Structure 1
Amino acid sequence: MCLQTSTEARLVNFDLTEEQVLLKNMVERFVADRYDLDQRRAYQAMPLGFSPENWSMLAELGLLALPFPSDLGGLDGGPVELLVVMEALGRGLVVEPVLGHVVLPGDLLIRAGTDEQKAEILPGIMSGERHVTLAHAETGARYNLAHVETRAAPEGNSVRLTGRKIFTLSGKAADLFIVSARGTDSAQIEFYLVPADAPGLERRSFRLADGSLAAEIELNGVTVPASARLADGLEALTGAVATTRLGACAQMLGIMGSMFDATLEYLRTRKQFGAPIGSFQALQHRMAQLYALTEQSRSLVYGAALADEASREKTIAGAKAYVSEAALRVGHECIQFHGGMGVSDELAIGHGHKQLLVLANLLGDAESTLEEFIQRAA
């Protein structure tokens, strides 16, 4: 996928390159080999909410190293490669926490970590041996990234952290948290690397709507060395959030496509009054609307992946606003087509819709990201 320009017009080419097609095919093979509905249920029932074996396999395939630069041991994957991978994982309803344990913390570490921190942590993320997640969300934040009340108090060569984080993505499996806090300069947000087994850290796990295991953490005077502080703050976080939003949009796009295809097949085979219900004009019109929503979402997500650096965060915010609303509309409609069975665990439709509920509200729902887009466009 690339941009083609000319003196007359700026044309966008949405065709994947040969390497990107191979990447897409590799992820699809992983899904075909490792996933059906029964396997998915079994993976979510595991202690961490996903399969450690699948996680190791994703690492062996190089997918966990894909977003990182080659000088740090990664594979130099960019936004388009992220889109390709996450859309394919979305179609397979994969439960492994690629967004929560690779994309978000990894991008933040690249932007804000010191050379020593990157050298120490990133190889473990890429090999699948380390599980790192961001601990940032607090009570009352309502998607405001600048809302942080956790405090960091210097004590000689150490820092004492006190506060509560109400939501850490896939936090049950994390062995390292990136914790946001305000230091002596209360106007500045800082980030600290905090081991999950640090004295004074309490973790409570809970399941989200899609069955994944998140966690809240209490920091009761947790002490970390001053060297645990990342070099950058809120600006780095906004960049990492934009990257993660793009991944979430791509994953929603894959789920939408999967749900649409399953519903189309159902309408072709389910009969009433002696005819397939897909032959009824009213249902055809509704399916046409869902197809339009999915394809409009695809255009916005692909466009966001190709956006230049100056408009990147704005474009991704706009895509997230549209796709979050469109995805939930597609999910609701597909469930309605299937009737009561649509919300049951017996069909993939229900599983997909629950995953859409989480992704649509991850790092900003449709309303908040639309407001952000408007502010950035002003």
Structure 2
Amino acid sequence: MAVRPIVDLLQLSPDFVRDPYPVYARLRADGPVHHVRAPDGEELWLVVGHEACRTAFTDPRLSRAWMQSGDIGQIVNTDQDQPALAHMLMSDPPDHTRLRRLVAREFTPRRIEALAPRIQQITDELLDTMLAAPERRGDLIASFAFPLPMTVICELLGVPGMDREAFRRWSNEMVARSSPEAEGLAYQETTEYLRELIVAKRSSPGEDLLSAMIHAVDEGGDRLSPNELIGMSVLLLIAGHETTVNLLGNGLRALFAHPAQLAALRADPGLLDGAIEEMLRYDGPVEACTDRLALQDVGMGGTVIPAGSTVLIVMADADRDPARFDDPDRFDIRRDARGHIAFGHGLHYCLGAPLARLEGRIALRTLLERCPDLAMDADEAQLPWVPGLLIRGVRELPVRW
């Protein structure tokens, strides 16, 4: 099998962070696996193409068990025994199976749908505040797309409102660090805060998810350990808002860039569910999966990924693969976008996907109903993008109404 030379993504396109899709398409045309240098200088391996990505997601040789099988410092600036990483997304079966079973009961379709009235209330209150601005313009991320899912997940978990801005700062560092030092501090502060909160919840449990996780016991008597409670809380807090923030931000950018599609959606709200799936496919909130570890030499598509390598599965490219979707670079809210892997694939498929879809549906419907003249108020080329290959989205989205 071939040993591929390293490819510098920024050399292929200086505009890679804003628009990576042409680069991924160029790589895909040359094969499903590539050794690359990311914009931050990290060397890793990318898997591209719909079929190859789906296969990689289910390959047991590509592990998430960094704490047991690898050096966590290869991907995160923190200690090997960091409690904030003791969660199901950092594990393989059987540990993953056990951890997911202990929390999945709190994410049943019935429980998620029961949140709809509260999500609607939060949506209305945020828009009341946003639309009261006399200048009739503002940042949609700061005023709406971020506080909506952050409020929902914090209320669901039982995190006091006064701490939510701190969690946003910590989350930003964990998914797209500004520096290794800031990332390490975020993990440390998050762990310290949650450890104290869990102690308080043990003595005074509420109706929230964190209280339920503390006292959850399965049929065999198994329960989450103290470190696992911290880790699962971190995972739910971060995944519980980052996906929705960027589903809304990316989806609205796509609508603004395609006025005919926006007009069609306004004219027929029945298109909303399909529109959300197309937003997820066309420009989803997660560009590539969380880092996988090659447990051994892995042969894929005629190329060998060496044991110990960091591997990313590029969902953003999988969902633009013409072998799976006709004319994939066209944004079409009437398209049958089923089969996209914006929420992952296999055993690590996003547990919170139904919640993100519900929040997206309520938020977009209400926003379009209440803001008939909503439009972007900036040049897209000048928008500040979230760095890194994990989260796909903008930090700010100036709009006018």
TM-score by length of 2: 0.24
Structure with larger RCO (C-alpha < 8 A, sep 6+): 2
TM-score by length of 1: 0.25
